[in-house]
Structure 1
């Protein structure tokens, strides 16, 4: 998730836009999410975002005890991802910045790794931006995994989530880069603090750093409640009833197959 997304940003920023543009950064973020899900979904469900884990836990579909472990894993993964991008683009960053690791200004490179507000963005504007964007993310992700909305072909869910990330980036990315993910922002911010950008990574934008860390949880909770109240409660079947129906359908299918095999054997 981080390598592809921030790698795209590093390529654009350090080349002064000669190797990519705003659109390629959004595509990088979307494709990073897509392949991140493909890699990890068979083991953990590929949460990639602790806000998603929290949402599923609120709905009773994920154990709360795993949420802190996932959060730490995401934070560590984002930190190491930032370190890897820095190693890959070390020479480019040094040449572009003139050897000075800056947070603000024409040669700033901190935005490669984490979110900073645009000059026009106020404190409340940033808070609203992240709450709304993360709420949208959760509403649409819950719709993607909601089998009562209709079963998706195998492998389509990651593509749809990637398309969702792209849509959010194209429509809500100019304010602060749509972090949407506390660990995705905080892990790289901790890395840049240690790697030489200094304490300005936390003081810039009037102490902006805590908004992409806290606001996504508020937006995630809001999106979960909206989807539960406006969509899920209006399904004709409950999740438990759907599970029972699926088990019965599988059982009937197995019996039909056994009968067919039995008849074939008798004919033979």
Structure 2
């Protein structure tokens, strides 16, 4: 379990950290730069945690693997708690590192922590839809995508991610062990570039909920949990069901490939 704590901590620290520097300081310009840091974060986290365990680092991955029989159901709860613990610790780290910058940023917008519209700062911790840094908040922004639409986007992106993870780590795909973490990171970065304008691209309930709990604790209150549009549920339900769908799709492809291989050998 230490691997799940450590790996999820690293993913969430690097991921929320780059969002913080982009939003609060403008250090990164455009999604491409943010996505590149996420790519590095995911890759590093997998390499560091893989020798210590399964390196799921994501409840959606853990549940999908258990659904496919690739992980024991009796270990699911403890793995997810470990992932959440790592994400909370990362959220605390980001709050300590960037707290003063967050206050300054919100003040410059005429806002305070927990005030309506303060999700432009809370997005450093948890996700919101559409992306507040791009669309702002309020009725005009909310017209861009509905809660149902955001849930579908999160499910779709997570399905692609889990499908890719299973295929890239399947020995039959002949992807070298040293390359798989890099390619998984690339998948995450690609999905961020595509969908972060809509949902900030979580794909990971722990990565969202852990820092969101920290945001709630430091004063964001209802803006963090449940969120102005029920965000806390969107970023759990979407990834969990999407992950299962992606896993089942990978299993179906494996069955088709096995059947074709059997027919060709006859």
The interval holding the TM-score normalised by the smaller chain is 0.7 to 0.9
Secondary structure, counterpart of 1:108 in structure 2: helix
Secondary structure, counterpart of 1:225 in structure 2: helix
1-structure distance, mates of 2:224, 2:29 = 25
The aligned residue for residue 18 of structure 2 is 8
Report the CA distance between 1:104 and its aligned residue: 5.4
The aligned residue for residue 193 of structure 2 is 170
Q: Deviations over 1:219-238 (max 9, x none)?
A: 01111111111x1102338x
Q: Is the 8 A contact 1:117 1:205 kept in 2?
A: no
The aligned residue for residue 170 of structure 2 is 146
The aligned residue for residue 53 of structure 1 is 62
Note the residue ranges of structure 2 that are not aligned, 5 or more in a row: 1-10, 131-140, 260-266
The aligned residue for residue 120 of structure 2 is 108
User: Pairwise CA RMSD of aligned residues?
Assistant: 2.1
Q: Deviations over 1:246-265 (max 9, x none)?
A: xxxxxxxxxxxxxxxxxxxx
Report the CA distance between 1:147 and its aligned residue: 1.1
Task: Tell me which of 198, 203, 214 is aligned to 2:221.
Answer: 198
Q: Is the 8 A contact 1:50 1:71 kept in 2?
A: yes
* Number of residue pairs aligned between Structure 1 and Structure 2: 236
The aligned residue for residue 122 of structure 1 is 146
Secondary structure, counterpart of 1:65 in structure 2: helix
Higher CA-based Rg: 1
Secondary structure, counterpart of 1:174 in structure 2: helix
Q: Which has the higher contact order (CA 8 A, sep 6+)?
A: 2
Between 92-101 and 170-179, the greater mean CA deviation after superposition: 92-101
2-structure distance, mates of 1:217, 1:203 = 18
1-structure distance, mates of 2:69, 2:27 = 48
In the TM superposition, structure 1's runs of 4+ consecutive aligned residues that sit over 6 Å from their partners are none
Secondary structure, counterpart of 2:224 in structure 1: helix
1-structure distance, mates of 2:119, 2:73 = 43
The aligned residue for residue 92 of structure 2 is 83
- With structure 2 as the length reference, what TM-score do the two structures score? 0.82
The aligned residue for residue 3 of structure 2 is none
Counterpart check, 1:136 vs 2:146: no
1-structure distance, mates of 2:197, 2:215 = 22
The aligned residue for residue 136 of structure 2 is none
The aligned residue for residue 45 of structure 2 is 36
1-structure distance, mates of 2:105, 2:215 = 16
Counterpart check, 1:234 vs 2:244: no
Report the CA distance between 1:154 and its aligned residue: 3.2
Note the residue ranges of structure 1 that are not aligned, 5 or more in a row: 238-268
Q: Is the 8 A contact 1:102 1:108 kept in 2?
A: no
Task: Tell me which of 155, 159, 165 is aligned to 2:178.
Answer: 155
Report the CA distance between 1:206 and its aligned residue: 2.2
1-structure distance, mates of 2:215, 2:66 = 32
2-structure distance, mates of 1:96, 1:81 = 21
2-structure distance, mates of 1:46, 1:136 = 18
Report the CA distance between 1:196 and its aligned residue: 1.2
- In structure 2, relative to structure 1, the CA distance for the partners of 1:3 and 1:96 (3 Å cut) is same
Q: Is the 8 A contact 2:213 2:225 kept in 1?
A: no
- In structure 2, relative to structure 1, the CA distance for the partners of 1:58 and 1:117 (3 Å cut) is same
